[in-house]
Structure formats: C-alpha cells, structure tokens
Amino acid sequence: MRTFEATGGDNAQKVPVRVVVVQGEERPPVDVTDEPMVMTFPHLLVRELIAFLALSLVLILLSLFANAPLEEIANPTRTPNPAKAPWYFLGLQELLHYYPPLVSGVIMPGFLIVALVIIPYAKINLERRPLVEQKRSGMLLILWGVIAALSLIFYFTGSEPVWPFIGTLLLVGVGMTLGATSTSKNPMLVWLRSRSLPFWIFSWFLLAATVLTLIGVFFRGPGWRFILPWRDGIYY
Amino acid sequence: MRDLLRRATDNRFFRSIVRHGFPDSNRNRSLVVFSNFFMHIHPTKVRLRAIEFARTLYLGGLSAGCFFILVVTGVLLMFYYRPSVPQGYHDMKDLQFTVSVGMFLRNLHRWTAHTMVAFVMAHMAVTFFRGAYRPPREFNWVLGVFLLVMTILLSYTGYLLPWDQLAYWAVTVGTNMAESVPVVGSKVKLLMLGGHTINESALIRFYVLHCVVLPLLMVLGISVHIWRVRKDGGIHLPPVDGDKT
C-alpha cells in the first residue's frame, strides 16, 4: 500500500497531487437513497414563498388592528409598580422573586446557556435511548430519589417554595413513571415508553420556563404579589 | 401566459442576467437554483421528506423571514427616529400621529420582533426534539444558541429606544441583573449604560448596538448557520424506518 504525504509547494498546478477525503463519522450523509426527491425549483421555493407570505399576512393584519404600546415619557423618578421586563425575561424576573440576583440573574441563566451549548457533545444526548431500555435495577427508585431531592432543594432554598419548578418536576416524573411501567398498547403510552432521559429533562426545562414566564406575565401585580388576571387585571 | 413569459425571457438582454433558458425542463430548473447568487443556499434537488411542513414547521425559515421584515421596517423607522432625550420620545409620538402609516410601521416592527423571539425559541425546541443537533450538526446547534442570544439582545436593546416609561423600567430590570454579576458586574453595567443610570449615553449605546452592531453580527451568524446546514448534509432526517427520539 502506498502512502501519500501532504506537502506544501509554490506551484498550485502540481501540488497537491492527490486529494484524499476520508473523514470517518464526520462525513455528511450523502449516500444514494431511493426515497422521493423533488426539484428545489419549484417545489421548495414555492413553499418558502407561501410560508413567507402567510407570515407577512398575519403580521400585517396584527399590526393593522393592534397598536404597539407607548406610555408617558421616561421618568427616572417615578417607578411604575410593577416594573416588568419584556416577556422573554419575565421567567428570569419571576425567579428573582425566589432567589437573590446572583443566583437567578447570573448563575441560573449562565448554567442554562452552558447546558444548551454542550447538548450535542454529550453521549447521552446522542444515543437518546428509551428510558425503559436501560433496565437499571431500581431505576424508578433512583428517579424518584432525584426528584424528591430536587423538590426539597427548590422547596427550602428559595424565599418561598419554587412551585413552578416543583410542580413541573412532579409532572415530568409522573410521565416518566407511566412510560417506564406501562405495558399497554395504547399509542400514547407506547410513545411515552420510547422517550429518553434527555427528552424528559429538556421537557422539564421547557415546561418550567413556560410556567415561570406565564406567571410573570399574567399572575404578578403591584409589589410582585400573586394576582389572578381575571379578577385583578393583567399588569404587563 | 407561458408563451408570454417565454418570449420575455428569451432575448439577449434577459439572457445576460439569467443565463439559463425557461425553467420548464429539470435541467433549467436546476440552473435556476445552481446559477443564482440568492438561491445557491439551496441544493438543486431536495428529498420530499425534508420539505414537509410538519417536520420543521418551517421555523428556521420563518425566523429568517421575521429578520428580513425587521430589517426593512427598522431601516424605515430610522428615517424618523433620533436617539436623543427627549427627542426620541417625541419622534415616537410623531410616528404615531403625523407620519403616514407611521403607527403601522412601528406596530409591524414591534410585533415581528416578538414573533421572531418566539419563533427562534420554538425552532430550538423542535431541533432538540428531532435530535437534529447530532453529529455532524453539533456546531450548527452551538451557532443556533448564539443566534438565540443575539435575537434576545436585539429585542432587548430595541426595547429602550421609544424612551417611554415601559422602555425605561423594563431595561432597568435587566441592567440591574447585569449588576449582580460578581466582581465585574458594576463594570459591565457601566459599559452597557455609559453611566451609572440610564440616560442619553445609554440610549445612544443601545441605539448603535440595535441598529448596527447586533444586526451585522446577526447577518453573519445567520449566513454561517444556513451555510452549515448545506455543508452538514441538509436538514436532519431520521432513517426511513423509524423516528427515534
């Protein structure tokens, strides 16, 4: 077997002599398939056009009928009560109610960003094996042990129990237990059974973030007190 | 109609712009994509499964669509808005009451911005649940996280510009959080605001970030993101036999 050495050289016509591309698992899947293919023009481009036009239509209609808010001119001496951040930060602002700013404004979002970035580099996220397949003895015990421990942490460490975390955690725990224990052929349960641990963790994060944001938007009034929007109105 | 189009495109002037013939053959249809600067982000053929709406909900494309609308409306708004105190606020009032379709322009910019934040988040969730971050697409996922942060920063910096009570105090909540970062917190806040409180120097900083720096980073990020989709073998598709998540 001949070996080739990659060398430099000033004459680009002569060097490199051969280009060998062997990249193992990095190779994008370009295998020939026999599944249906269509021409990008018109099939994909028409879909893109329709999607963009539909988006524009919805946004234009919304903009015709709903006006963007404009309050009085900014006044640094008069703090509105409550002062709320944009909706996508209200989950964080809601957390601020339970934890000091260092935890809720820096450590938790920082942890979140790092966790998101490393997702594709963790083996567990690449395999995504169904929870039931892993057949660990006492898996449910470990599962509920972890859930109980986390719940206790969220119950006692905050200025008051962090129910948005605990509630969603219990919900996800019930889903996992149903999936891991059921043997029924009900399609819903079969679907639950095939879910993996990363699926459940991400779902918990999404649920918790959504609940926190909804509480921040709809259920917080003056002094960040808990309110009922249908009784006290929406402060946003 | 087809004959008319064919006649309009079959002449030397048109052929100097678009070099291929009328796209009624698959060869010319390939060339529509392959030989066009704006279309070359696409392959000439795609798998039917890859373009199903239910697979991706088109959220990535729709986010890019939102960004396009935001650039257009944003540039138009820049003609009417001066980033100073209190002129900025008065310009908002002018947009509302004296500029033709000014209110509509501002509405469209604002609602599209909120929509884009929501779409980018949803795009990330769908990408996760589909397992589309798997190799060779790991780095494109990381780029996606970067683009999510950019989107939120763009929306956040734009929030201050109307200079009304809502803008001022919403941004105050955020900058107070930045202050709680250990060691560098107060320095970061000073850097963001150009002072110890939100005033005109904060407004001009947010304005420049919102209108120049972040959009440029965004365009760069989106370009690399889309380019990587092609380089990594198109969008992620599960094996034909099953969808394992």
Q: Is pLDDT at B202 greater than 80 in this prediction?
A: yes
Taking an 8 Å cut-off on Cβ atoms, the answer to whether A106 and B136 are in contact is no
Q: Is pLDDT at B243 greater than 60 in this prediction?
A: no
Q: Domains along chain B?
A: 2-34 (no CATH), 54-231 (1.20.810.10)
Q: Is pLDDT at A28 greater than 60 in this prediction?
A: no
Task: Work out the pLDDT band at B245, boundaries 50, 70, 90.
Answer: very low
pTM for the whole structure: 0.91
Chain A contacts of B125, Cβ < 8 Å?
202, 206
Distance between CA B172 and CA B163 in Å, rounded?
A: 12
Highest mean pLDDT among A14-28, A197-211, B165-179: A197-211
Taking an 8 Å cut-off on Cβ atoms, the answer to whether A199 and B129 are in contact is yes
Q: E strands along chain B, which residues?
A: 45-47
pLDDT attached to residue B106: 96
Distance between CA A115 and CA A109 in Å, rounded?
A: 10
Q: Which residues contact A80 (CB under 8 A, 6 or more apart)?
A: B165, B166, B169
Task: Work out the pLDDT band at A20, boundaries 50, 70, 90.
Answer: low
- Is the distance from CB of A87 to CB of A215 less than 8 angstroms? no
Task: Work out the pLDDT band at B244, boundaries 50, 70, 90.
Answer: very low
Asked whether this complex has an ipTM greater than 0.90, the answer is yes
- Is the distance from CB of B163 to CB of A74 less than 8 angstroms? yes
Taking an 8 Å cut-off on Cβ atoms, the answer to whether B107 and A67 are in contact is yes
Query: For A63, which of B26, B104, B168 is closest by C-beta distance?
Result: B104
Task: Work out the pLDDT band at B2, boundaries 50, 70, 90.
Answer: confident
Percent of chain B at pLDDT above 90? 75
Mean pLDDT of chain A, nearest integer: 88
Chain B contacts of A90, Cβ < 8 Å?
none
Taking an 8 Å cut-off on Cβ atoms, the answer to whether A121 and B168 are in contact is no
Q: How close, in Å, is residue A236 to chain B by CA atoms?
A: 9
The neighbouring-strand residues paired with A226 are A220
Distance between CA A218 and CA A205 in Å, rounded?
A: 20
Classify residue A165 by burial, with Cβ atoms within 10 Å: 0-12, 13-18, 19+. buried
Chain B contacts of A128, Cβ < 8 Å?
131, 244-245
Chain B contacts of A213, Cβ < 8 Å?
none
Q: Helix or strand or coil: residue B199?
A: coil
Taking an 8 Å cut-off on Cβ atoms, the answer to whether A85 and B173 are in contact is yes
Question: Does residue A42 have a cis bond before it (omega within 30 degrees)?
Answer: yes
Q: What is the pLDDT of residues A154-198, one digit of tens each?
A: 999 999 899 999 999 999 999 998 888 888 888 988 899 889 999
Nearest to A90 by CA among A205, A219, A203: A219
Mean pLDDT of B178-204: 89
Q: What share of chain A is helix, strand, coil (3-state, %, to 5)?
A: 60, 5, 35
Q: Is pLDDT at B147 greater than 80 in this prediction?
A: yes
pLDDT attached to residue A16: 67
For residue A210, the number of C-alpha atoms closer than 13 Å in the C-beta half-sphere is 13
Spans of all domains in chain A = 87-229
Mean pLDDT of B195-215: 95
What tokens appear for A78 in the block?
């008069």
The larger pLDDT score, comparing residue A135 to residue A171, is at A171
pLDDT attached to residue B223: 96
Mutate to test the interface with B, among A23, A35, A88 (most CBs of B within 10 A): A88
Mean pLDDT of B71-100: 96
DSSP state of A226: B
